[in-house]
Amino acid sequence: MKYKKLGHSDLEVSVVGVGCMMFGSMCDQDTTTAIIDTALDQGVNFFDTANIYGAPPGTSEQFVGKALGARRKDIVLTTKFGAASGGRGGSVEGGGTRNYIMECVEKSLKDLGTDYLDLYQYHFPDVNTPAEETLRALEELVQQGKVRFIGCSNMTGDQLQESLDVADKIGTSKYVSAQNWYSLLTRGIEQDLVPVAEKANVSIIPYFPLESGLLTGKYRKGQNDPEGSRLAKWGGAFKTDDKLDKVEALIGYAESIGHSILDLAVGGLTNRPYVATVIAGVTKPEQLVQNVAAGNVELTAAQLDEIDRICS
């Protein structure tokens, strides 16, 4: 397993992490534990959950905490606060306020069975709460030892820059990571967020790197989706004709250089210097093993250029 430094922190994270979104909803406790056991065996040390994951919300954190047990000290554990229920509705009202943050962190610590978080992430920016209030609250948690480092998620480049500037002005901790939707097929952050993040040594943590399975090769143009699959139920923004065309081109190119499309999808991100760790939600241990293998693939600059050309 390869490891990278997470931004300007002292955290070393595996280039492939575990997205824990499915734990407590699509995965029961036994499956969650099996996935985490496999992850640790594979050298994975980055586990990403959120206070809204699971059914009811918080179940994912509870399952992760139980599965880790005494091994919690050996990994980089992160959770999030501030998203509306379901995670796609943006920020919950008041999600960046001090009172909300303090309430959330205590529940997350309890559910995870830990007294500290390695990384605490602001899930969706609350545009109605000043960045200063949010950063001061997070700094309190750092000073109390409940949080080691802070990260953000779903921010634009301008929002990240504002937060960095405010942190400089008031002397608080800065975000060390930015977690956003980023894949070979969804690349808007390269023009907006990435330049700001690179300049400030803030690592990118891609979510939806496989476009909900589209970049695994099991969904093909002109073929029926596998029965019961996620995209069969909700293709939405993931499954478009343009993306399917690019998937076919990526499969052809991957085969020509002796790789799979999964190798390109994951390795095509882990080989970028500004990406620290790639998190994909998994529901089976074998999926994680495949992701780890793909994340360790070494791609040349010429191969990355060709991937970029295909996906442009």
Catalytic positions are 53
- Show Cβ contacts of residue 165 under 8 Å, excluding neighbours closer than 6 positions: none
- 193 closest CA partner among 208, 207, 205, 178: 178
CA distance 56 to 53: 8
DSSP H helical segments within 7-156, as ranges? 29-41, 59-68, 98-112, 131-144
Contacts with 45 (C-beta within 8 Å, 6 or more apart), sequence order: 3, 12, 13, 14, 17, 74, 75, 76
d(CA 285, CA 291): 10
Token reading at 242: 């343009």
Q: Are 225 and 219 in contact (CB under 8 A)?
A: yes
In the numeric block, which tokens belong to residue 54? 């699971």
Neighbours of 74 (CB within 10 A): 10
Which residues lie closer than 8 Å to 293 by C-beta, 6 or more apart?
Answer: 263
Q: Which two tokens stand for residue 251?
A: 């499969």
Query: What is the distance in angstroms between the CA of the first residue and the CA of the last residue of the chain?
Result: 30
The one-letter code for the residue type at 65 is G
For residue 298 the two structure tokens come to 């070494």
Q: How many residues does the chain have?
A: 312
Cα distance between residue 162 and residue 297, in whole Å: 36
